[in-house]
Amino acid sequence: MALFRIILLCSFLISSQVCSTLRNCIFRWDFVKSAHNLLDNMGGLFPRECLKEKIKKTFPISGLQLNGSNKKITVYKIMEHIDSLFANETHPESWDPEKMDVFRHKVYRLTEYNKCILGKTHGPMEDSPSRDDALRNYFDELATFLRNKDNSFCAWEVVRKELLLVLNKILHRNSSKE
C-alpha cells in the first residue's frame, strides 16, 4: 500500500511539473509591467548630477516590432538583453536591493521560462534578422556605455532611464493592441 501511494505521489508530481511547464509558455505581460515599475522605483528620481550623461544611440523603432504573434518574440528578446545587462553585480548601491532582486527575478523568469515562444514561430516575419541586429546593436551600446564609464552611478542611471523608455514603449504598444 505504501508503494502504491509513493507511485501515485510521483505520478502527481510529474504531471503537475509537465502542466506547469506547458503553462509557462503563456507570456506574462504582468511581469513586464511589474519589471517596469520595479525598475522605475528602485533608484528613485533621475539624479540631477547625471543630466550631462547621454547614450549616443537611441532605441531603434525597427527593434520594436510588436505585430501579431511577433510581439512576444520581440519582447522576449528585449528582456533577454536586459537580463544580460543586469547579469553583472555592478549596479549602484543606492538602488533598493530588494526591488533589484525582484526585478532581476522577473526578468529572469520572463526569459528562462518563456524560451518556448521561440519555437512557436509561424511565418517569415517572426524571425527578423534586422530586428535582432537592431536590438543587439542597441544593447551592445548600453553595455559599452557602462564599461566606458566604469559602471558608474550616473552610467547606470542613464541605462535605467533608457530601459524605462523601452519598457514603457512595449507596455504602451501592447495595451493599445489589446
How does pLDDT run across 118-133, given as a tens digit for each residue? Answer: 765 544 444 567 888 8
pLDDT at residue 178, rounded to an integer: 47
Q: How much is the average pLDDT of 129-140? A: 88
Q: What is the pLDDT of residue 22?
A: 45
Domain 28-177 class in CATH: mainly alpha
- Compute the residue count for the chain: 178
Q: Residue 160: pLDDT above 50? A: yes
Query: From CA 36, how far away is CA 162, in angstroms rounded?
Result: 11
Residue 174's pLDDT is 74
Range in 1-10, 34-43, 62-71, 155-164 the model is least confident about? 1-10
Could you tell me where the DSSP H helices lie in 113-152?
A: 129-148
- Mean pLDDT, the chain, integer: 80
The residues spanned by each domain of the chain are 28-177
Q: Is pLDDT at 148 greater than 90 in this prediction?
A: yes
Report residue 134 CA to chain centroid gap. Answer: 16
Q: In this predicted structure, what is the pLDDT of residue 84?
A: 93
> Where does residue 45 fall: left (phi above 0), alpha (psi -120 to 50 degrees), or beta otherwise?
beta
Cell of 24: 509557462
Q: Lowest mean pLDDT of 34-43, 118-127, 169-178, name the range.
A: 118-127
| pLDDT (average), residues 100-110 | 92
Reduced to 3 states (helix: H, G, I; strand: E, B; else coil), residue 158 is helix
Q: What distance in Å separates the CA atoms of residue 146 and residue 154, rounded to the nearest whole number?
A: 9
Q: Pick the residue with more confidence: 52 or 68? A: 52
129-163 in b/e form (b: 16+ CB < 10 A) is eebeebbeebbebbeebbeeeebebbbbbbbbbbb
DSSP 30-68: HHHHHHHHHHHHHS-SPPGGGTT---SSPPPGGG----T
Q: Residue 2 above 70 pLDDT?
A: no
Average pLDDT over residues 1-7: 57
**pLDDT reading at 109 higher than 80:** yes
What is the per-residue pLDDT across 67-100, written as a single tens digit (0 to 9) for each?
666 778 888 889 999 999 999 778 898 999 999 9
